Amino acid sequence: MAPGQVVFDDEIVSATSLNRQPGRILDLALEKPVTIMRNEQAFALLRRELASSLFATSSRALTMVDFIQAVYLQMAGRGLADDQPYEWVAAFDHEDLQQMAGEVLAVFRRGRRGEGTWDEFDALLHEWEESAWAARSSILQESFRATDEEVPLTVPPASASGPE
């Protein structure tokens, strides 16, 4: 990080100022985060929407790190333990892993920028996981190995008790 670069662009006020001018401090918090200092402790005051957004982004970032680590380990041939949350990535080959990681990363970036929703990120991960479980399904594997036994459709016989 470059010297002088702002990490947390906030307004710093004392707890006394908050007690004396709560309206002014809340107005400041509408524009940007406010740090309230009390006995050398710092407290953050910010809009609920911003706090919610920060929490959602942080939560998805942790998910993304765990997911990318699982993909990396699988691609490196290290394998994954059955108790790891993304062990299902082992169902995919190298090419699918690359495609999956690219798609998930793109949706994560859109969510982080506010260009997409975190529901899209969650849904995409869920879809890939469902695909992994389908790929591991013995029933699905049997159907892929089965030979085509097409049977031509026939016209059903007219029913004597049907509508006239």
Low-confidence residues of the chain, pLDDT below 70? 1-8, 159-164
Residue 8's pLDDT is what?
Answer: 62
**In a shared domain, residues 123 and 110:** yes
**In a shared domain, residues 23 and 55:** no
Residue 146 CB-half CA count within 13 A: 9
**In a shared domain, residues 83 and 106:** yes
Does residue 131 fall inside a structural domain? yes
**In a shared domain, residues 54 and 31:** no
Nearest to 122 by CA among 73, 74, 59, 68: 59
**In a shared domain, residues 64 and 126:** yes
HEC sequence for 51-68:
HHHHHHHHHHHHHHHHHH
Does residue 73 fall inside a structural domain? yes
Q: What domain range includes position 40?
A: 11-46
Q: What is the pTM of this model?
A: 0.69
Residue 72's pLDDT is what?
Answer: 95
Tally of structural domains, the chain: 2
**In a shared domain, residues 117 and 132:** yes
Residue 154's pLDDT is what?
Answer: 85
**In a shared domain, residues 18 and 93:** no
**In a shared domain, residues 30 and 108:** no
**In a shared domain, residues 30 and 106:** no
Does residue 152 fall inside a structural domain? no
Does residue 29 fall inside a structural domain? yes
**In a shared domain, residues 36 and 83:** no
**In a shared domain, residues 60 and 126:** yes
Residue 163's pLDDT is what?
Answer: 59
Residue 58's pLDDT is what?
Answer: 95
Give the burial class of 3: count Cβ atoms within 10 A of its Cβ; 0-12 exposed, 13-18 middle, 19 or more buried. exposed
